[in-house]
Amino acid sequence: MPSTSRAGPAPKSRVSRGPGVASRLLNTELSAHPRTNPIAALSTLLKLLSSLSSRIGRCQYKLTPAEHALSLHLVSIIDPYVYQGAKALSTVASAQVKPTFAGIVFQPTEILDSIMAYLDSKRDLLNVALCCKHLHDVVFPRHFEYRVIRCKVSSISVWNHLLVNHSLARNVRRLEIVDERSSVAVTPRAATTTIATKGLIVPRGIVRRDTDLESTDDELSMHKKQEKHLASALVRMSGLKEIKWSCTHSPISIEHVWPSLVMRASTLDSLEIADNLAFTPQSVGRESEEGTSGSDGETAKDNSRTVLPMSSLTSAIFRSTRHTYGASKTPELSRISGILEKCPKLKNLTISFNRQRSALPLVDDVLNDGRWLCLTSLTLIGVRCTSSTALSQFLSEHQLLESLHLELSGIRAESLDMRPDSLPRLREIRASKEFVTAILDCQSAVPRPVEVLKGPKLSGVHAVAHGKHADEAFFHTVRRCAGTMSRVELGGWHDMDDIRKLATALPGLTYLDVGRRLGSLGAREASQVVTNLEEWLDVLEKLGELRALHGVKMFYEISSINLPANAHSTSISTSTSTPSTMPSTTNSLGGVDLTVAAKIQSQMSLMDRSRIKKNDWTASMLVWRCPKLRRVDHWEDGASKVVMLTRVPAGNGDDGKVRWEVRRVKA
């Protein structure tokens, strides 16, 4: 008996230390239980609690530290979905009356989740989430992190996550498929709310990785698996409104996933495709590949589907890429035409084809068959048109066009014959001077409200066409729009006489970009400050409303080696002696006091001091001749630097001085 009493407790103590069998099957890692799935959290919590009664001895109804942390995590996931129901029951039990709830905050969580689905903007979702913690728990992370997704085709973990969680896939509004070789900079907003790697925006909480879902042994099967998961995820995105496809170097093209995309096409508002395969003939594609087993058979079946009507699509953009991958020697627009004919409410249409070592696609079919009564913006770049009648009829029948960008070949602008009163709402036109002249010469009872003119190149004083000056017809035409024209961006110019005639024809310009100077003389003077400043001032004096001037280098660059880090300008606070009729000039260092400015000035070289004085004099002359001028180009092209001219109010010892400073602006 003594031996039995000593041997009995030993096995009992060993069994009591370990948890039950059911609890050992649960994963206690918190990352394995995402906050976006409350149903799975409730199921896991029930399994954990039910396993307590099956434990033996002193382990019964006791949680290990890992299980305790897991239970708290699961309760925090479930709490937003049961809080309002528990509060309603407690109110009924205490007051014995029907509870009355005022405001959206007191609605059930599933109702709030449905309401949040109507908000497409992330800014609106953020404002709602800042109201209270309950709304924050609804908006995050089910809605806010799923509105915009930007990733690659190879991000198979993202597609699998959306495929498994149908309710989360419905919350996607904008989908961007980037190139496999892209390396976009990380934005601060994306870094604070999502997992952002090289510009990729992926929702948090995705447990499985790409390597867990695909095998690297067979690359061909890997691409097929990526395509299958992407197509299946697109079907689940019933709330998708915008899609941008920029995958230009992948075995998967937009053609392979298009049948799945059109199943939800009724909700799309914007479609942007940058892929060379969009300009290939329809006979070239996956239909010609061998093998129809497995997923290939399903894809072939999908490709045979008819494209559904896109009743809500308002913007369609099709671009080729500078890469030669997927490019065809005989490009066509048949695929694009098949898509556009299903878009009755189209407002913005852009077809841009890069000039490569191939023929240009023919746009005649689109112009003959395409009629969109709501079209307001049309862009045709790098395409070929052989029928002037088709182009004339197309422009004549689209009376709502406001923006027109044409870079066509194969047709002469003089052959256009549009109906009278065509394009009555045209506000912006970008084309060569021949097309601009032909379009604006069309008879109209009411002057067209043209405000922006881009692209024409002026020929110079020595250019002669048909016995007249080459630009005479152009200046005569644009003079009709002098009352509404406010912005002109030239493609180039030759002589100062070109700018002088333009200023005479359009004296009410507020924005002028002269572009680059053409010819050998312009190439030699491209990096030099203008020497004929007085001649430029005479021209600018005719533009009394001018506020911005670009393309002319009138200021010298100042070395910024000795300047402080917080300086926004490049010079010292000084003033120059000017005539009494001309405003004096001062230039600041953006918050630097006079003592520091004097010290910096003493450290500058004599060349920089001389350039500062020249810049001061130039700024004074510009503001004197053109009082409303506030922004001027500075130095080389693409530097994102401009000179800002501001007038200091009179008083405090400053008699209307002019302040100039160099600022960086977004390109």
| pLDDT tens-digit series, residues 117-134 | 999 999 999 999 998 888
Contact 213, 281 (CB under 8 A): no
Q: Return the pLDDT at 84.
A: 58
The pLDDT of residue 320 is above 60 = yes
pLDDT tens across 500-556, in order?
A: 999 999 999 999 999 888 876 655 555 577 778 889 999 999 999 999 998 888 888
Query: pLDDT category, 654, cuts 50, 70, 90?
Result: low
Average pLDDT over residues 43-62: 82
Q: Return the pLDDT at 225.
A: 83
Report the Cα 33 to chain-centroid distance in Å. 34
* Strand, helix or coil for residue 52: coil
The pLDDT of residue 361 is above 50 = yes
**Helices 533-540 and 496-505: angle between axes, nearest 10 degrees:** 10
Average pLDDT over residues 456-460: 88
Query: pLDDT category, 588, cuts 50, 70, 90?
Result: very low
Average pLDDT over residues 102-119: 83
Mean confidence (pLDDT) of the chain? 77
Residue with tokens 């005569």: 476
Q: Return the pLDDT at 573.
A: 35
Q: How many CB atoms lie within 10 A of CB 351?
A: 23
The secondary structure of the chain in percent helix, strand, coil, rounded to multiples of 5, reads: 40, 15, 45
Query: pLDDT category, 638, cuts 50, 70, 90?
Result: low
Q: Return the pLDDT at 21.
A: 53
Q: Return the pLDDT at 124.
A: 93
Q: Of all residues in the chain, what percent carry a pLDDT higher than 90?
A: 29
pLDDT tens across 133-161, in order?
A: 888 988 988 899 999 999 988 888 899 89
The pLDDT of residue 60 is above 90 = no
pLDDT tens across 387-403, in order?
A: 999 999 999 999 999 99
Q: Return the pLDDT at 380.
A: 95
- For residue 606, the one-letter residue type is L
Q: Return the pLDDT at 110.
A: 86
Q: Return the pLDDT at 639.
A: 65
End-to-end CA distance of the chain: 93
pLDDT tens across 403-431, in order?
A: 999 999 888 888 899 999 999 999 999 99
Average pLDDT over residues 38-54: 87
Q: Return the pLDDT at 464.
A: 72
CA distances from 464 to 273, 461, 478, 491, 501 (A): 43, 8, 19, 19, 16
Q: Return the pLDDT at 658.
A: 76
Per the model's pLDDT, the better-predicted residue between 641 and 70 turns out to be 70
Tell me the two tokens of residue 625. 């001749």
Average pLDDT over residues 564-572: 38
Tell me the two tokens of residue 659. 């302040």
Q: Is the dihedral of CA 333, 338, 344, 346 positive or negative?
A: negative
Average pLDDT over residues 185-196: 43
Contact 139, 129 (CB under 8 A): yes
Measured between alpha carbons, how far is 388 from 415 in angstroms, rounded to an integer?
A: 6
Q: Which residues, including other chains, have CB under 8 Å from residue 258's CB and lie 6 or more apart?
A: none
Query: pLDDT category, 615, cuts 50, 70, 90?
Result: confident
The pLDDT of residue 72 is above 70 = yes
The pLDDT of residue 580 is above 50 = no
By mean pLDDT, which of 216-225, 491-500, 609-618 is the weakest? 216-225
pTM for this one? 0.76
The pLDDT of residue 226 is above 80 = yes
Q: Return the pLDDT at 305.
A: 45
Average pLDDT over residues 62-77: 88
Tell me the two tokens of residue 44. 């896991």
Average pLDDT over residues 69-80: 87
Query: pLDDT category, 646, cuts 50, 70, 90?
Result: confident
Query: pLDDT category, 52, cuts 50, 70, 90?
Result: confident
In 341-385, alpha helices (H)? 364-369
Q: Return the pLDDT at 196.
A: 46
Counting beta carbons within 10 angstroms of the beta carbon of residue 152, is it exposed (0 to 12), middle (13 to 18) or buried (19 or more)?
buried
Domain ranges of the chain: 19-95, 104-137, 585-664
By mean pLDDT, which of 177-181, 380-384, 435-439 is the weakest? 177-181
Query: pLDDT category, 32, cuts 50, 70, 90?
Result: confident
